[in-house]
Structures are given as structure tokens and as C-alpha cells.
Amino acid sequence: MQQFSAHAHAPGPVAAQHGHILLVEDDEELAEQIRADLSGRGHVVDYVGNGALGLAQARDGNFDLLIADRMLPGMDGLKMIETLRAEGASMPVLVLSALAAVDERVRGLQAGGDDYLTKPVALAELAARVEALLRRPTIPTRETTLRVAPLMLDLVERTAQRGERAVELLPTEFKILEYMMRRPGQVLTRDMLLEGVWHYRFLPHTNVVDVHMGKLRRKVDAPGEPPMIHSVRGAGFMLRSPG
């Protein structure tokens, strides 16, 4: 990760809204041009060139805006955006793409993008769109469902479903699954689960996580179904899409 900051203010009668921006772009020359321009306008820009790294950085950082290329190594840009939206990320997203067809623009917006800009990029237009997105008020939305592939969790009704099959969960099992579904593909240690679900910072010599995880796994992964809950030897557990 590279981080740059500058303090110059963009000209114009309307004060620019400065923000902390994550730029995910694998074209290093273009990324440097965008970074330099936005930094010169007063924004703080973090830059990565890989979709998987971008997803991890977006999860870990507190960003006001994400600028993501459509086609990235490591993870497709739209898949990265879809994953963040499924996990409840609400920051505005500007999609950059060389794909200018209308259906590609629609795909970008349906994946969770707030705006779509085609390449070659005019830096002045990019900056104007960035400032417009940063000025847009964030309207808090009530999250009601979580989805990871065939698995769906209804946070209002407190019910779970895998495909067409209802998954009957006890309250603690529901909390564990909610914690895991907010972090798909991430290795979750026992200490993380103890703190996140039971609010224990440290509880030595206990197998409470393993006992509950065993029960939850038997309910989520029925016989004949591809497993979604996995043990990670020496580390903890992971929820991921089947296959």
C-alpha cells in the first residue's frame, strides 16, 4: 500500500469536499496520474494494483470513496464491489473501465457502483465526479439480509436458508453464522470468534467455539452438499462459497 497526502485546495467557487480515497487500478502509469491529480486537490489517496488486495484494504481501512478498475488481477473489480456491498460497505464507488457498452455500465451499477467512467480517463472529469460523490450525503440503510452464495441470513426474522432448505439455528449459532457471513473467505481465529460472538477478550482452555462450530457446521453443510464451513489447521475457521 502506498499513501500520499497533500494540502492544496482545488480552485472554484464551491469548496471541494476532501476525502480518504482507495484507488484500485493495475495500470501503474494511470494510477500514478490519478493519484497525483487527486492528491494535488487535497485528497488522501491509498493505492493498490490488485483486486484481492483492494478488497482486503477496503475492509481494513476507513475510506470515504473507492475508485475501482473494472478488470483487475487477483479478483475482478465488480466481484470486489459486490463482496463489499454484501458485507455492508456503504462508501461511494466509482468504477473505471475500458468497457463502454451500455450493458457493461449497467453491470457496473448493478454490482454496487455509484458512478461509471470509461477509459481513457480525463483527470478533470474524474476529479469532478469524485467531488460530486464525496458531497453526496450518506443515507444510512438498514441491513436486513446477508448472502454468501446459496446461504442467506434474514436479520429481521432471524432465520437462515441454504438454497431452498431452511436452516434451524439456535441464538448462539445464528450469531456465529452472522459473524462469519460478514467476513466470507477470511480466516477467523477462535479468539476472534470468542470476542466477536461471546464478547470474551481472553478465555483460555475452552472448547466452546469448537463445540458450537461443530453443531453449526452439521446444520449448514447437510450430507451431500458442498461444504461451506471449513477448519483451517492451526488457525481457526472460514466460511466460503462452495466450490
- Give me the CATH number covering residue 35: 3.40.50.2300
* Gap between the Cα atoms of 166 and 174, Å rounded: 13
> pLDDT confidence of 162, banded at 50, 70, 90?
very high
56 lies in the same domain as 16: yes
> pLDDT confidence of 72, banded at 50, 70, 90?
very high
163 lies in the same domain as 213: yes
For the whole model, what pTM was predicted? 0.54
Closest CA to 93 of 57, 64, 122, 50: 64
Q: How many domains does the chain have?
A: 2
124 lies in the same domain as 150: no
Structural domain for 208, as ranges: 145-239
Residues in the chain: 243
- Alpha helices, DSSP H, located in 65-207: 77-86, 102-110, 123-135, 171-181, 190-193
- Domain's final residue, options 135, 168, 193: 135
178 lies in the same domain as 123: no
196 lies in the same domain as 153: yes
112 lies in the same domain as 183: no
At 54, the amino acid letter reads G
> pLDDT confidence of 142, banded at 50, 70, 90?
low
Q: Give per-residue pLDDT as tens, 145-161.
A: 899 989 999 988 899 99
The answer to whether residue 36 scores a pLDDT higher than 90 is yes
120 lies in the same domain as 10: yes
15 lies in the same domain as 124: yes
pLDDT for position 19 = 87
**% of the chain beyond a pLDDT of 70:** 88
The neighbouring-strand residues paired with 47 are: 2, 23
The answer to whether residue 84 scores a pLDDT higher than 70 is yes
Structure-model confidence comparison of residues 99 and 170, the more confident one:
170
Does residue 140 lie in a domain region?
Answer: no
177 lies in the same domain as 114: no
How buried is residue 151: exposed, middle or buried, by Cβ count under 10 Å (0-12/13-18/19+)?
buried
> pLDDT confidence of 139, banded at 50, 70, 90?
low
49 phi, psi to nearest 5 deg: -115, 20
Q: Give per-residue pLDDT as tens, 183-232.
A: 999 999 988 888 888 877 665 667 889 999 999 999 999 999 999 999 99
Does residue 129 lie in a domain region?
Answer: yes
23 phi, psi to nearest 5 deg: -105, 120
Does residue 108 lie in a domain region?
Answer: yes
3-class state of residue 127 by DSSP: helix
User: How would you classify the pairing of strands 151-154 and 145-148?
Assistant: antiparallel
- Domain's final residue, options 135, 170, 199: 135
